Amino acid sequence: MKKLFGAMALYVGLAGIAVAEQPVVVELYTSQGCSSCPPADEILAKLAKKPGVIALALHVDYWDYIGWKDAFARPEHTKRQKGYAHQAGARTIYTPQMVIGGVDHVVGARPMDVVDLLGTHKARPAVMQLRAQRVGEEVAIDGTPPQPAQGKLVVQLVRYTPEETVAIKRGENAGLTMSYHNIVRDWQVLGEWDGETALELQVAAPGEAPAVVIVQKAGPGEIIAAARVK
């Protein structure tokens, strides 16, 4: 790994989430072929509109065999979910699952559990400042060393599609037309940061797809900071 040094009223509960100074990252592991996933997909659509939340949909590929291939699914999303399961000591993975802040795991179709965890995370004080700014075809990233120190951290750039509608013709959700939100298309590990000196980095990001930067403990583990690319 490259090292970086240097420079429906849900519905009611979700509506009451205040803007967090440090955005909370919510990862939804979902699939178009999973009959339990549409309610969680709808919850993520609500979260995607919250300024204090970075909501990301990671479609997995392990339901493709039951009759409908999810065009958004990527094996690396499944691998990331397995990494979270390993860190948590879990033997299995499932959909729909939400991972909040890189540490808390919850069934993605349980809105009040999601609301409670979001409230807990947004109440935590930020340990670092992180900024990501588009400069032409590149993204400039800068951050302050975490206080208290967090050890070595992984810096990542995530690009996504804000919304896409799919008519599902086969499988468990045959006949449904679903709108999916914040669909992750590319999750790029930029490198490892020592966290001891200021983070200063400029990376290529051609095109107009929205993006976020995530600073996280390896594992994957706790997300220390995240920022939307402005």
pLDDT, tens digit, 9 for 90 and up, residues 82-116 = 999 999 999 999 999 999 999 999 999 999 999 99
Which of the two residues, 21 and 135, has the higher pLDDT score? Answer: 135
* DSSP symbols for 3-30: EE----BTHHHHHTPPPPSSPEEEEEEE
Average confidence (pLDDT) over 62-66: 94
H or E stretch at 141: strand 138-143
Which of the two residues, 47 and 15, has the higher pLDDT score? Answer: 47
Average confidence (pLDDT) over 45-65: 96
In a 3-state reduction of DSSP, which class is residue 167? strand
According to DSSP, the β-strands at 24-30 and 53-59 are parallel
**Confidence (pLDDT) at 4:** 52
Average pLDDT for the chain: 91
Average confidence (pLDDT) over 9-22: 44
Measuring CA to CA, which residue among 17, 154, 13, 143 is closest to residue 83? 154
> What is the Cα–Cα distance from 81 to 64, expressed in whole angstroms?
16
pLDDT, tens digit, 9 for 90 and up, residues 197-224 = 999 999 999 998 999 999 999 999 999 9
**Confidence (pLDDT) at 227:** 97
**Confidence (pLDDT) at 2:** 52
Position 21 confidence tier, pLDDT thresholds 50, 70, 90: low
In a 3-state reduction of DSSP, which class is residue 79? helix
**Confidence (pLDDT) at 22:** 83
**Confidence (pLDDT) at 206:** 92
Whether pLDDT at 196 is above 80:
yes
Alpha helical stretches, state H, the chain: 11-15, 38-47, 75-88, 111-122
Whether pLDDT at 156 is above 90:
yes
pTM: 0.90
Of the listed ranges 9-13, 166-170, 222-226, the one predicted with least confidence: 9-13
Whether pLDDT at 15 is above 50:
no
Whether pLDDT at 3 is above 60:
no
Whether pLDDT at 20 is above 90:
no
Domains, in order of start, for the chain = 3-7+11-228 (3.40.30.10)
Task: Quote the percentage of the chain above a pLDDT of 70.
Answer: 91
Whether pLDDT at 8 is above 60:
no
Alpha helical stretches, state H, 176-216: none
- DSSP lists the bridge partners of residue 155 as 191, 215
Q: Are the C-beta atoms of residues 95 and 53 closer than 8 Å to each other?
A: no
* DSSP symbols for 97-131: EEEETTTEEEETT-HHHHHHHHHHHHTSPPSS-EE
Q: Are the C-beta atoms of residues 147 and 127 closer than 8 Å to each other?
A: yes
Task: Considering only CA atoms, give the Rg of the chain.
Answer: 17
